[in-house]
Structure 1
Amino acid sequence: MALPRAARTQRRTRIQQEKEEQILEAALQVFSAFGFRGATVDQIAELAGMSKPNLLYYFRTKEAMHRALIERVLDTWLDPLRALDAEGNPVSEIRSYIRRKLEMSRDFPRESRLFANEMLHGAPHVEDELKGPLKSLMDEKADVIRAWMRAGKISRCDPYHLIFSIWATTQHYADFDVQVRAVLGDNAGEGRFEDAARFLEELYLKGLGIAI
């Protein structure tokens, strides 16, 4: 994981930790709005309420801030997948996964846009993470899904494409929220996430041959 400069030079104090979080919060806002190429250190420093030299004490470059954010987002994004339990009931496990992914789309839209933008540009800052830890986790959870198939608990399918499709349908509500709200109009309140959860649960569970 990319460490801020201050963390590499000395043990961080509480104030330093707070400053780093202040910087990363500002960087998240700027990167999610303008993308990596459009964002500048000056913009981030201004939003963080500190001078550019002070900011660069904590994070030497724009790339360092961006990588720290991307790695944090990727780690958070994968928590629901890590929780997929081989010993659990596929119905409750898949339902829980769908709902947790939708909750993340609802609660972390800026993080979702940041990550989507990184993927659209070829993942230059986290390609090693995708081919390493992400790939290993996906292989592990694909084996979980295959075990459910062998036990006759769900219909046969490609486990990787099942996970990809859940990612796509749930993150749509973060990355394309403006479009969703425009189409739903007066029905575009917070209830849209519950409506989406019920629809996606039925879509996937029935598609996997599970009676609900």
Structure 2
Amino acid sequence: MIRPRATPAIAEDEAARKGAIRQANEALILGAGERVFARTGFNGATMAAIADEAGLPKANLHYYFGSKAELYRAVLARTLHDWLVPMDGLVAEADPRQALEAYIRAKMAMGFERPDASRVFANELLHGAAELGALLRTELRAMVLAKARVIEAWVAGGRMAPVDATHLFFTIWAATQTYADFDLQVCAVLGRDALSDRDRSRATEHVVALMLRGCGLG
């Protein structure tokens, strides 16, 4: 029996369905990888443990990511990409106060929502950035230099107080990521087992106000 040939529309729908399944599975695996790598480090993590965390057969992990090292690099690259996206709002025509506030709030929210991503990233840096080094020297450096020029233009135009634009980013990263990387310390000092929504809001408002005042925008 001759089967009817699939129409272009049906083929496109099937390709879209498979693409959506692939994206969903990759996101599930990357999320599981974040959590396992954060708990055990690269050396302590296993593909079996990540598969259990994701609720998928181990074979699925190897289908999407050929090795633990490949998955680890993908976790780091996704984290860096997600951290860079909020910087897109720092453009010359933007209002400095609104743009910087939106960026700081986005960084705080990501730290609270995906603390394991921040911890994996920090641990990679503490161990010499063997996997991240190239991305830091290229993608991250290019983005920071470009956005520093925007801030320098705002300063030159009298739109905000004089600041060292490049070091401003270091300060923002330190202030925002500490709530993920050192949450145990924060919780201990505040007498909490975990930060509540009220604690997170208090922290966010404090960091936003402090940074904006330092930029003459408070």
TM-score under structure 1 normalisation? 0.85
> Are 1:150 and 2:156 counterparts?
yes
Tell me how far 1:35 sits from its aligned partner.
1.1
> Are 1:208 and 2:215 counterparts?
yes
Larger Rg: 2
Contact 1:35 1:114 in 2 (8 A): yes
Q: Deviations over 1:79-112 (max 9, x none)?
A: 1112212211211112111111111111111111
Can you give the 5+ residue segments of structure 2 that lack an aligned partner in the other structure? Answer: 1-15
The residue aligned with 1:181 is 187
- Paired residue total: 202
Can you give the 5+ residue segments of structure 1 that lack an aligned partner in the other structure? Answer: 1-10
> Are 1:91 and 2:122 counterparts?
no
The 3-state SS of whatever aligns with 1:78 is helix
Distance 1:135 1:96, change over 3 A: same
State the superposition RMSD in angstroms. Answer: 2.3
TM-score under structure 2 normalisation? 0.83
Distance 1:84 1:33, change over 3 A: same
The residue aligned with 2:29 is 23
Contact 1:82 1:137 in 2 (8 A): no
Tell me how far 1:34 sits from its aligned partner.
0.7
Match of 2:117 among 111, 123, 132: 111
Tell me how far 1:18 sits from its aligned partner.
4.0
Q: Distance in 2 between matches of 1:189 and 1:124?
A: 35
Contact 1:32 1:111 in 2 (8 A): yes
> Are 1:38 and 2:47 counterparts?
no
The residue aligned with 1:128 is 134
Q: Deviations over 1:159-188 (max 9, x none)?
A: 111111000001111111122122112694
Q: Which runs of 4+ in 1 moved over 6 A?
A: none
The 3-state SS of whatever aligns with 1:125 is coil
